[in-house]
Amino acid sequence: MSQLPQAKFRNDYTSPEFTITDLDLTFDLFDDSTTVIAVSKVIKLGTCNSLTLDGEHMELVGVKVDDIKWQDYQRSKTNLTINNLPDNFTLTIETKTNPSANTALEGLYKSGGAFCTQCEAEGFRRITYFLDRPDVLAKYTTTVIADKAENPYLLSNGNRIDSGDLEQGRHWVKWQDPHPKPSYLFALVAGQFDVLRDQFTTKTGRKVDLEIFVDQGNLDRAPHAMASLINAMKWDEQRFGLAYDLDIYMIVAVDFFNMGAMENKGLNVFNSKYVLANDQTATDADYLGIEAVIGHEYFHNWTGNRITCRDWFQLSLKEGLTVFRDQEFSSDLGSRAVNRINNVRIIRGPQFAEDSSPMSHPIRPEKVIEMNNFYTLTVYEKGSEVIRMIHTLLGEEKFQQGIQLYVERHDGTAATCDDFVAAMEEASGVDLSQFRLWYSQSGTPNVTATTQYNPDKQTFTLQLEQHTPATQDQPQKQALHIPMNVELYQADGQIIPLQIQGSPCDNVLDFKQDQQSFVFENVSEQPIISLLREFSAPIKLTYDHSDQELMFLMVNAQNEFARWDAGQNLIAKYLRTNIAAYQQNQAFELNDNVIDAFRGVILSAELEPAFIAEMLTLPSQNEVAGWYKPVDVDAINAALGFIKQTLAVELIDELTATYHSLKQSEYTIEHAAIGQRSLRNVCLSYLATTDIGESLVCQQFESANNMTDTMAAMSAANQAQLTCREALMKTFSDKWSHDGLVMDKWFMLQGTNPAKDALSMIRTTMDHSAFSLKNPNRTRSLVGAFFNNNPVNFHAVDGSGYQFATEILLFLNESNPQVASRMIDPLLKYRQFDETRQQLIRTELEKVSKLDNLAKDLFEKITKALEA
C-alpha cells in the first residue's frame, strides 16, 4: 500500500465551509459508461474560496461555474478541489462511471439486469463529486434516461413530475424530492420489473401509492412485504404519532445487495431476501424477518431521513433508535417475550463477542477509518438496548413526550446523539447525566450480585458491584447508570412488594456506583430474587442462584422473559460442568431434577407453544464460547450435544406426543400457527438425535407443504447427521437449483455441516451452478455460515479452515471489500483461542495484510487485530 488509510476522529468535527441547497442530476444510463451531470446551487458559509468535493472511481469530463468552463481545480484519488470561487454560484460537473464493472455494489451498479444505487455511507461520491457528508441537505431533482425496452421503469426519490420518449428507443423520467436530504439517501433504479400496487391513507388524509418492484415472475412473492408495509405505516401513526410525508412509497427488490435494505427517501432498495416470500419458498423466520426489515426501513423515514445524523459518528442516533422501533413493532404485532428473547440472544452472543474483540467501540464510535465497518451489532443492537434503557427509565408516556420534543426541535436537520438525550431529558425531567456514558464507553459491564436475608430485621439486602473490563479501544472505564429490574418472590409464588426506607419502590433500581446496596424491608421470609428482568441492561450478570431457585423461577416468575432466563441459567450451569468434565476426561452428567424441570415446561398447558419452543432452545455454540478464554470448541460442542441428546432420550415421550399433537393441515402465517410450527420443529430437532429420528425426519420432509417444515427436516438431518441427509439435500437442490434465494437455505446447511469432511464438500459446493462469490447472499449463506456457525470445522486444528478463509478474503478484497470485511470478523477474535490456533490465525491475517491493494475496510480491522 502506497499511503496508509487515515482515521477520522469524532472530536474533529467541523461544520462545512460550503453548503449545497439544490441538486439537479441527469443520468444517461449505459451499462459500461453512464454519464452523470450534476448541477448544484452552492453557498459559501465560511471564508475559504476553494471548495473540496468528495469523489472516487470516476472519470471527470468537465467543470463549469455559473456556466463558464472552469479549469482552476486539482484532483486527487478521492477529491476535487475547485479554486477562486464566488460566494454563491451554480456548479456543473460532468462525470462518467462504469456500472457493470462495479462489483463493490456501492455507488451506481448493475444487479442482474437492473441499474441500482447504494449510497450510504459514502457511496454517492462514486456517482458524482459532491459534499458527501450527512450534514449537507439539498433538494434533489433527478432525470433518468435509459433504453426503454430494457428499462421500462426509471425510478428515483420523491414524486414523478415529467417523462417523455427520445430517439433510438430511449426514454426519460424526471423526479423531484421536496424534502431536503443528505446525499446518502439518494437512490436511482432502472430496469424491468413486475409491480405490486396498493394504497394507504394516512391519518392526515394523504393518499399514498405503495409500489413494490420485483423481478418479473415474482409477483406472487410480494404480498407479505406489502402487508408488512401497511402494518408499519399504521403502527408508526398509532404508537409514535408519525405519519408518512410523500404521495408515493416505492420498494425495489434486488438480488445483489451488500446488506439487508436501504431507507432511501421514498425509494427503498431491498435485498430480495427481505421482500420475496411465499409458503413454498420462505420459512416462518423469513416472513418475520421481512416484517421487521420492511418496518425498520419505513421507520427510518422519520428517524434517519426527516431527522438525520450530523456526522457518521452519530450513526446510532438513527440506527439504535430505529432498531428499537422495529423491535417494538414486531413485539406489538407478535409475541413480546419471543421477540425479547431473540434480541437478547443477539446481545449475549455476537454483540458481547464484538465488545471484547479488537473492533470494540462505543455505540457512538470515536475513531473510524472505513465507515462501512461501523454498521455493527454494537451501533445497531446495543444502540437499541441503550434506547430501551431510556424507555425503561422514563416509561412509555414520557418516552413518547421525549420523541415529540426531539421531532419538533430537529425535524429537517442533521442532529447528534446528545441532541436526542437532551430532548428525552428535558421532556421527562429524568436526570440522564450519568446515563450519557453509555454513548461513549465501550465494552460489556460485568455485574456481580450477592444477597443476604436478615430474618430478625425482616430485611433482604441486594449488593451490586459493577466492573467494565478494559477494551482494546479504551483502557479506563467508569461506573454506568444501570437500570436493574428486580422482583422478589415468596416460596408460594406470591410477589413481595418492594419497599426501601419506608416507601414502596419501583422494580427498576438505579444502580449507579461501583458498589451499591439496596435494602428491601418488610420481607417476612427468605425470598427468591429475579434479577435483570427483561434484560433491563446489556450487561453480564453473575449471581449464584441454586438449581432449586432457578427451577422455581422457571415456573413461578410472573414474567415470561424471566422464566426463560432462569431456564437458560440452569442449562448454563450444566454446560459449564460438562465442558469441564470433557476437558478432564470425566463422564457427562445431567441431574434428574433438571430433566424434570424441562419436562414440566413441555407439559405446561398455560404456556404459548412459541414460548415453550424458546425455553427448549439451548444457547448457541457462539454464546457459550463467549464465556471462555481460551475457547475449547470441541468441549463446547460435545457438552451441548450431550445435553441435547440426554433431554431428547429422557423426554422422548413428551417430545413425541407434542410433536404429533401440533401437526397442522394448512399453512398460515398467523402468529399462533408460527408458534406451533416452531415448537413442533424444536421437538423434531431433539427427536432427530434419538432412534426414531431417521423415520420422523424423512416423513416430515416428504409430507411438508411449506418451506418451514421442509427446512426443519433438513436442518435436523444435517445437525444429527442422519443417513437420509444426502437424499434430502439432493431432492431439494434438484427442485430449487434455478432459484438462488431458495438455494441459500441449502448453501447454509452445507456451510454448517458438522461432518468431518465438511470443508472439502464446501469447496465442491462452490462449483454448484447456483453459487457465486460475486453475490453477497450466496457468499454469506455458504462461506459465512462455515466461518461463523461451524466452529468445530472452521477451527480445525490443522488450520485448513483458516487457510480457506484467506483464499476467500483475497478474492473478496478485490471484488467486494464490504463483504470481505464482514467475512473476516471471526478471525479477528483469535485471541480467544489456544496458542496453536492463535498462531495459525495470525499467520493468515498477516498474509492478507501484505496485499498490495488491501482495501481500507480490511486494513482497519486487520491492523487492530494485529496490534495490541
Stretch that binds ligand B3K, among 14-22, 293-301, 441-449, 779-787 (CB under 6 A): 293-301
Is the CB of 322 or the CB of 507 nearer to Zn ion? 322
Closest separation between CB of residue 479 and ligand B3K, Å?
31
Which cell numbers hold the place of 611?
A: 414460548
Beta bridge partners of 262: 269
Chosen from ligand B3K, Zn ion, none, partner binding at 121 (C-beta under 5 to 8 Å by type): ligand B3K
Closest separation between CB of residue 745 and Zn ion, Å?
25
How far is it, in rounded angstroms, from Cα 381 to Cα 350?
10
Residue 548 parent element (H or E): helix 547-556
Residue 121 interacts with ligand B3K (CB under 6 A): yes or no: yes
Encoded one letter per residue, x for contact with ligand B3K by CB under 6 A and - for no contact, window 224-263 reads -----------------------------------x-xxx
Is the CB of 320 or the CB of 801 nearer to ligand B3K? 320
How far is it, in rounded angstroms, from Cα 599 to Cα 610?
16
With contact defined as beta carbons under 8 Å apart, do 329 and 295 qualify?
yes
Please confirm whether the linkage preceding 785 is cis (ω < 30° from 0).
no
Chosen from Zn ion, ligand B3K, none, partner binding at 259 (C-beta under 5 to 8 Å by type): ligand B3K
With contact defined as beta carbons under 8 Å apart, do 821 and 857 qualify?
yes
Please confirm whether the linkage preceding 630 is cis (ω < 30° from 0).
yes
- Count Cβ atoms below 10 Å from residue 438 Cβ, excluding itself: 26
Chosen from Zn ion, ligand B3K, none, partner binding at 375 (C-beta under 5 to 8 Å by type): ligand B3K
Which cell numbers hold the place of 289?
A: 424477518
With contact defined as beta carbons under 8 Å apart, do 747 and 771 qualify?
yes
Is the CB of 297 or the CB of 614 nearer to ligand B3K? 297
- Count Cβ atoms below 10 Å from residue 702 Cβ, excluding itself: 11
Among 725, 792, 733, 735, smallest CA distance to 758 is for: 792
Is the CB of 306 or the CB of 545 nearer to ligand B3K? 306
Please give the size of the binding site for ligand B3K, defined by CB under 6 A: 12
How far is it, in rounded angstroms, from Cα 838 to Cα 194?
51
Q: What crossing angle do the helices spanning 725-736 and 693-703 adopt, rounded to 10°?
A: 10
φ, ψ dihedrals at 384, nearest 5°: -70, -35
Closest separation between CB of residue 108 and ligand B3K, Å?
15
**Residue of 273, 296, 345, 837 that binds ligand B3K (CB under 6 A):** 296
Sequential DSSP letters for 110-128 = EETTEEEEE-TTTTGGGTS
Is the CB of 317 or the CB of 537 nearer to ligand B3K? 317
Stretch that binds ligand B3K, among 292-300, 414-422, 596-604, 850-858 (CB under 6 A): 292-300
Stretch that binds ligand B3K, among 213-221, 295-303, 576-584, 618-626 (CB under 6 A): 295-303
Is the CB of 261 or the CB of 759 nearer to ligand B3K? 261
Q: Which residues contact 544 (CB under 8 A, 6 or more apart)?
A: 450
Residue 120 interacts with ligand B3K (CB under 6 A): yes or no: yes
Residue type present at position 813:
N
Which cell numbers hold the place of 743?
A: 438455494
Closest separation between CB of residue 780 and ligand B3K, Å?
14
Chosen from Zn ion, ligand B3K, none, partner binding at 262 (C-beta under 5 to 8 Å by type): ligand B3K
Q: Beta strand 138-147 with 18-28: parallel, antiparallel or unpaired?
A: parallel
Grouping H, G, I as helix, E, B as strand and the rest as coil, residue 453 is strand
Chosen from Zn ion, ligand B3K, none, partner binding at 345 (C-beta under 5 to 8 Å by type): none
How far is it, in rounded angstroms, from Cα 173 to Cα 153?
9
Closest separation between CB of residue 122 and ligand B3K, Å?
9
How far is it, in rounded angstroms, from Cα 817 to Cα 266?
28
Is the CB of 208 or the CB of 262 nearer to ligand B3K? 262
Encoded one letter per residue, x for contact with ligand B3K by CB under 6 A and - for no contact, window 317-346 reads --x---------------------------
Residue 375 interacts with ligand B3K (CB under 6 A): yes or no: yes
Encoded one letter per residue, x for contact with ligand B3K by CB under 6 A and - for no contact, window 569-598 reads ------------------------------
Sequential DSSP letters for 128-173 = S-B--STT--EEEEEEEEEETTT--EEEESSEEEEEEE-STTEEEE
Closest separation between CB of residue 628 and ligand B3K, Å?
32
How far is it, in rounded angstroms, from Cα 85 to Cα 638?
70
How far is it, in rounded angstroms, from Cα 18 to Cα 85?
11
Residue 860 interacts with ligand B3K (CB under 6 A): yes or no: no
**Residue of 151, 330, 357, 372 that binds ligand B3K (CB under 6 A):** 372
Is the CB of 320 or the CB of 358 nearer to Zn ion? 320
Chosen from Zn ion, ligand B3K, none, partner binding at 860 (C-beta under 5 to 8 Å by type): none
What is the chain's percent helix, strand, coil content, to nearest 5? 45, 20, 35
How far is it, in rounded angstroms, from Cα 372 to Cα 224?
30
Closest separation between CB of residue 438 and Zn ion, Å?
19
Closest separation between CB of residue 289 and ligand B3K, Å?
13
Residue 432 interacts with ligand B3K (CB under 6 A): yes or no: no
Is the CB of 131 or the CB of 269 nearer to ligand B3K? 269
Q: Which of 291, 297, 534, 623 does the annotation list as catalytic?
A: 297
Is the CB of 680 or the CB of 822 nearer to ligand B3K? 822
Q: Which residues contact 666 (CB under 8 A, 6 or more apart)?
A: 705
Chosen from ligand B3K, Zn ion, none, partner binding at 372 (C-beta under 5 to 8 Å by type): ligand B3K
Q: What crossing angle do the helices spanning 284-299 and 707-719 adopt, rounded to 10°?
A: 110
Closest separation between CB of residue 184 and ligand B3K, Å?
8
Could you give the count of Cα atoms lying within 13 Å of 238 in the half-sphere of its Cβ?
A: 10
Chosen from ligand B3K, Zn ion, none, partner binding at 265 (C-beta under 5 to 8 Å by type): none
Chosen from ligand B3K, Zn ion, none, partner binding at 120 (C-beta under 5 to 8 Å by type): ligand B3K
Stretch that binds ligand B3K, among 296-304, 397-405, 591-599, 600-608 (CB under 6 A): 296-304
Is the CB of 320 or the CB of 443 nearer to ligand B3K? 320
Is the CB of 304 or the CB of 538 nearer to ligand B3K? 304
Closest separation between CB of residue 297 and ligand B3K, Å?
5
Stretch that binds ligand B3K, among 48-56, 294-302, 452-460, 531-539 (CB under 6 A): 294-302
Q: Dihedral (C-alpha) 546, 550, 555, 559: value to the nearest 10 degrees?
A: 130
Chosen from Zn ion, ligand B3K, none, partner binding at 442 (C-beta under 5 to 8 Å by type): none
- Count Cβ atoms below 10 Å from residue 684 Cβ, excluding itself: 22
Binding residues (CB under 5 A) for Zn ion: these are 319, 322
How far is it, in rounded angstroms, from Cα 203 to Cα 234?
9
Chosen from ligand B3K, Zn ion, none, partner binding at 236 (C-beta under 5 to 8 Å by type): none
Q: Beta strand 207-214 with 248-254: parallel, antiparallel or unpaired?
A: parallel
State yes or no: is 385 an active-site residue: no
Near ligand B3K in 301-320, by CB under 6 A: 319
How far is it, in rounded angstroms, from Cα 494 to Cα 129?
67
Please report, in angstroms and rounded to a whole number, the separation of the first and last CA atoms in the chain: 22
Chosen from Zn ion, ligand B3K, none, partner binding at 676 (C-beta under 5 to 8 Å by type): none
Closest separation between CB of residue 379 and ligand B3K, Å?
9
Please give the angle made by the CA atoms of 271, 277 and 283, to the nearest 5 degrees.
105
Number of H helices, E strands in the chain: 30, 35
Closest separation between CB of residue 260 and Zn ion, Å?
8
Is the CB of 259 or the CB of 572 nearer to ligand B3K? 259
Q: Which of the residues are catalytic?
A: 297
Instruction: List residues near ligand B3K by CB under 6 A.
Output: 120-121, 259, 261-263, 296-297, 300, 319, 372, 375
